[in-house]
Amino acid sequence: MELTANGPRSRSPLIKLLKMRETGLIAIILVLCIGMSFASPYFLTWVNMRAMVMAFAVEGIVVVGMTILLISGGIDLSVGSVTALAMVIAGWLFLQGIDPWVASAISIVACTGIGAFMGYFVTRVGLHHFIVSLAVMVIARGACLLMTGGRPIGLFTLPPEFKFIGQGAIGPIPLVIIIFLIVVLTFDFMLRRTTAFRKVFYTGSNEKAAAYSGIRTKRVIFLTTTLCSALCGVAGIIYMARFGSAQPTFGLGMELNVIAAAVIGGASLNGGSGTIFGAILGTVLLSVVSSSLALLDVSVYWQDIIRGSILLAAVSIDHYLNKRRR
């Protein structure tokens, strides 16, 4: 299987592994984990691992959408509020007596519509993703407030089969993690291997050259923008099932986290490069650092300083390793 987005090669698997853009990140995460497993006897337990993955799994779905959007040359600041809006719409509809599955489907369609709305302003009106998604971030948050009066919607009456999405497990593995893995693997595969997604790379790499290759770049950008919001919709529904409530203030500041994960994982803010696998590693890195600080009960007043420093160090080391390898 190909593991770097660019460049189909056929070498030995080991050399391939060492040549991957992601190898540096994997190494850094491993070093952190090994360090942690000495520092805390609880780190390497199944329960801890499970909790750590649960903490980023749903956000990871949004990271997938953001990464694809970044590759196409876009960006989306509205992910946090659109995810919240997904919960709110579905929760609100459910309270109006609509079947939760139908409510969820409607909500995901609505989020997809929001993405299309942004895509329209970007590709037809010609505005920059940054400013359009910033406006939509504010509007979607406003819609959350309007629909809830600012009050979280308690959804304890959701049927157990529905809550199962967020709280159930198949064998020892929570369903949330399974959904996350399916989304990640699917899109990782599609992005590396399918013709349709290759156009995303062309468009992000040089939009004009892509247009001169007959690619309908506006459509590509429209679709990646829409996809990102649709995945926010999916994430919102899973959060709702998991927390049994819909929170209008959910996901404040999520955008920076999600973009950071993608960028740490090698996505370029100028478009044209990035991998799902890398972005998820970026998510894992951020998450391992946070969880470790909590596990070691580092003083709250020190945590941010340490967290920021580790982030900076990790990114620098990764950059250095990548530069050396090339």
Partner 1 sequence: QDTLRCAEGETYIMNVMVSAHPYWVPVYQGFKQAAEAFGCETVFSGTPDYDITKQIASFEQDMVKQPAGILVHPMQSDPFIEPINRAMDNNIEVVTFAADSPNSNRTAYITSDNLAEAKFAADEIVSQIGATGQYAVLENPGQSNHDLRVTALIDYMEANYPDMKLVGRQATNQDSTAAYRATASILQANPDLGAIWIPEAGSAEGAVAAILEAKSDVLVMHADITPATLEHIKAGNIHMALNPNQGMQGFMGFLSAFFAAHSEVFDPFNDYKVSGYNPVQIPFVDNGFSVITKENADSFDLNVYMEGRDPN
Partner 2 sequence: MQEDLILKIVNLKKSFGPVRALRGVDFELRRGEIHALAGENGAGKSTLMNIIDGILQPDSGEIFWNGEPVSIASPTEAQKLGIGLVHQEIALCPEVTVAENIFMSTTNQSRRMLMDYAGLARKARDVLGQLADIDPATLVRDLPISDQQLVEIAKALTLDCRVLILDEPTAALTEREANLLFTIMRRLAYQGISIIYISHRMVEIFDNCDRVTVFRDGQFITTQIVAEIEPADVVNAMVGRVVDTLYPDKLRVEDASEDVILDVKNLTDTRRFHDVSFQLKRGEILGIAGLIGAGRSEIVKGICHLEGTVTGDVRLNGERLNLRTYGDSIRAGMVYLSEDRKGDGLFLEMSIAENISALDLGLVTTTAGTINSQREEALAESLARKLNLKYGKLSDPVSSLSGGNQQKVAIAKMLSVNPKLIFLDEPTRGVDVGAKAEIHRILRSLASSGVGIVVISSELPELIGISDRVLVVREGRISGEVSGEVMTEENIMYLASVLDAPQLNAMTA
- For partner 1, the binding residues (CB under 8 A) are 40, 42-43, 45, 47-48, 50-52, 54-56, 58-59, 145, 149-156, 167, 174, 242-245, 247-250, 252-254, 287, 290-292, 294-297, 299-301, 303-304, 307
Give the total residue count for the chain: 326
Residue 67: CB atoms within 10 Å: 32
Q: Which residues bind partner 2 (CB under 8 A)?
A: 2, 6-10, 192-196, 198-199, 201-202, 204-206, 208-216, 268, 272-273, 326
The CA radius of gyration of the chain, in Å to the nearest whole number, is 20
Read off φ and ψ for residue 298, nearest 5 degrees.
-65, 140
Name the minimum Å distance from CB 64 to partner 2. 18
Query: Nearer to a copy of itself by C-beta: 9 or 124?
Result: 124
Binding partner of residue 199 among a copy of itself, partner 1, partner 2, none, CB under 5 to 8 Å per kind? partner 2
Closest CA to 108 of 218, 6, 19, 237: 237
Query: Nearer to a copy of itself by C-beta: 104 or 226?
Result: 226
Read off φ and ψ for residue 173, nearest 5 degrees.
-105, 120
Binding partner of residue 182 among partner 1, partner 2, a copy of itself, none, CB under 5 to 8 Å per kind? none
Query: Nearer to a copy of itself by C-beta: 149 or 214?
Result: 149
User: Position of tokens 């994960």?
Assistant: 261
Stretch that binds a copy of itself, among 20-28, 40-48, 138-146, 214-222 (CB under 8 A): 138-146
Q: Give the 3-state secondary structure of residue 297.
A: coil
Binding to a copy of itself (CB under 8 A): which residues in 226-255?
253
Taking the C-alpha atoms of residue 281 and residue 265, their distance in angstroms, rounded to an integer, is 6
Instruction: Give residue 205's Cα distance to chain centre.
Output: 21
**Residue 301 and residue 77 in contact, taking contact as beta carbons nearer than 8 Å:** no
Name the minimum Å distance from CB 8 to partner 2. 3
* Residue 188 vs residues 61, 184, 219, 242: alpha-carbon distances, Å: 12, 6, 21, 25
Binding partner of residue 9 among a copy of itself, partner 2, partner 1, none, CB under 5 to 8 Å per kind? partner 2
User: Position of tokens 């390898």?
Assistant: 325
Query: Nearer to a copy of itself by C-beta: 175 or 286?
Result: 286
Site string for a copy of itself, 282-301 (x = CB under 8 A): ------------------xx
Query: Nearer to partner 2 by C-beta: 198 or 307?
Result: 198
Query: Nearer to partner 1 by C-beta: 52 or 108?
Result: 52
Looking at beta carbons, which pairs linking 169-172 to residues 24 or more positions away fall under 8 Å? 172/46, 172/50
Name the minimum Å distance from CB 308 to a copy of itself. 3
**Residue 230 and residue 66 in contact, taking contact as beta carbons nearer than 8 Å:** no
